[in-house]
Amino acid sequence: MIIQPTSIAAQLWAGAAAGTTAAVDAWRVGTLLTARVMGQNDIGKLLLDIGGITVEADTTGTQLPQQFQVRVLTQGAQPQLEVLIAHPEEGVTMQGLRERLPLQNGYAPLLGALASLARSPVARSLPAPLRAALATLEASISGPDDVSTPMGMKEAIAKSGSFLESHLAEPTKETPAADDFKAALMALRRTLADLPPTRSASGVSTGPGLPRQLGDTPPPLAQRALIAQPRVAEFAITEDDVDALVGQLRTDTRAALSRVEIGQLESQPQAGLWMIEVPLANARGYDVLQLRIEEGKPGPGEPDGLWTVGFAIDPPALGAVQGEIQLRIPRVSVRLWVQQADTVSRLETEFVSLRRVLEKSGLQLDHFSCMHGLPVPTSAYSAVLLEARA
């Protein structure tokens, strides 16, 4: 469905593009906006009010309720909005997304601060409860050796935070909740809330050496492509930075916790879809493995459906890597896209080893490709889209 702003809306959008209005902030990627049907114009197009901007829509063959929601999928000259017509039972989910999307950010700022503190003597001057909470968070993050085996990867996914409530409801030895990433984030948030207000929180500027973190990491939404998340560079911390650091930790912890919960809300186990992000400890820092796991339904005469695992990661040694693994037992296909040219040859050298490992597991590698350049996010979505043009 194509949306074309009226002349008034076009002026608002033009002003937003020039930075003279707050429309750009209101239409950030992932933001949920309320849409209301206002009527029809003289040429039969539907008039909608979306987030305070009036737009025209050609809705031939489409029935829309009087009021519904849209979610911002992309910005730019032609922003795309996904129509969200929720069923009554989806009200809680939509409310949860509406509350968390404006707060979320990637894990990188928080993990960057954690890595910088690990190498700074200033960490010893932090309050003891905060040091303990940060140590708990660090212990909840899996390392390279932990995810080098199938069972280790399974455990890393299990304690990524996406399944915390499930583990608490049905505790097992295989998936303990004690070292869960979300549980550690919640404990850190409580500890930070109990600390007295800092000078920076009172409006006094401190810590000029700390980098300014921007909330520009797209949220983990089921209807959008995975995007590899680079590390935040480590930074030096001085005694003068402590108050500002505590304030930054409050913001980054809240943002990371909101992101975990968005992934939980976007996952649809009943439909065989999970959105998961796994923090990983690597050399001199932390990386984030983003996963989209989808279980397809078997076709007629097929014992099993097609499993598809999409992933994205951006370790400094390799650069951004995105991939898709498809499994229909016993056949497997692997497609990789990499940002750096020299990484292509490095990964292709592992082709023979990958085939041997799969064969030992009774699987057959049908296809393997490694391409230079990251894939262009598709504009095709399963839901109805609105394309706004200024």
pLDDT tens track for 115-171: 999 989 999 999 999 999 999 999 999 998 889 898 999 999 999 999 999 888 887
Higher per-residue pLDDT: 35 or 372: 372
Q: Which of 70-74, 110-114, 154-158, 332-336 has the lowest mean pLDDT?
A: 70-74
CA separation, residue 112 to residues 88, 176, 221, 356 (Å) = 40, 26, 23, 37
Alpha helices in the chain (DSSP H): 7-17, 23-26, 91-100, 108-118, 128-139, 150-158, 164-169, 181-194, 242-266, 341-348, 351-360
DSSP at 268: B
The rounded distance, in Å, linking the Cα atoms of 308 and 364 is: 16
The rounded distance, in Å, linking the Cα atoms of 155 and 178 is: 13
DSSP 3-state assignment of 72?
strand
- Give the model's confidence band at 113: pLDDT under 50 very low, under 70 low, under 90 confident, else very high: very high
- 131-134 contacts at long range (C-beta below 8 A, 24 or more positions apart): 132/191, 133/184, 133/187, 133/188, 133/190, 133/191, 133/192, 134/188
Two tokens, residue 350 = 């592992």
- Give the model's confidence band at 386: pLDDT under 50 very low, under 70 low, under 90 confident, else very high: very low
Two tokens, residue 326 = 């498809």
The predicted-structure confidence for 311-363, as pLDDT tens digits, reads as follows 999 999 999 999 999 999 899 999 999 999 999 999 999 998 999 999 998 99
One-letter amino acid for residue 59 of the chain: T
Dihedral over Cα of 376, 271, 91, 49: its sign: positive
Supply the mean pLDDT for the chain. Answer: 82
The predicted-structure confidence for 271-292, as pLDDT tens digits, reads as follows 899 999 999 998 789 999 999 9
Asked whether residue 295 carries a pLDDT value surpassing 80, the answer given is yes
Asked whether residue 206 carries a pLDDT value surpassing 50, the answer given is no
The rounded distance, in Å, linking the Cα atoms of 105 and 131 is: 23
Query: Are 272 and 294 a contacting pair, CB within 8 Å?
Result: yes
Query: Are 296 and 307 a contacting pair, CB within 8 Å?
Result: yes
Q: Mean pLDDT across the stretch 46-55? A: 79
pTM of the entire structure? 0.74
- Residue 79: is the preceding peptide bond cis (ω within 30°)? no
Buried b (16+ CB within 10 A) or exposed e, 238-250: eeebbbbbbbbbb
Range with the largest mean pLDDT of 27-31, 51-55, 226-230, 380-384 = 226-230
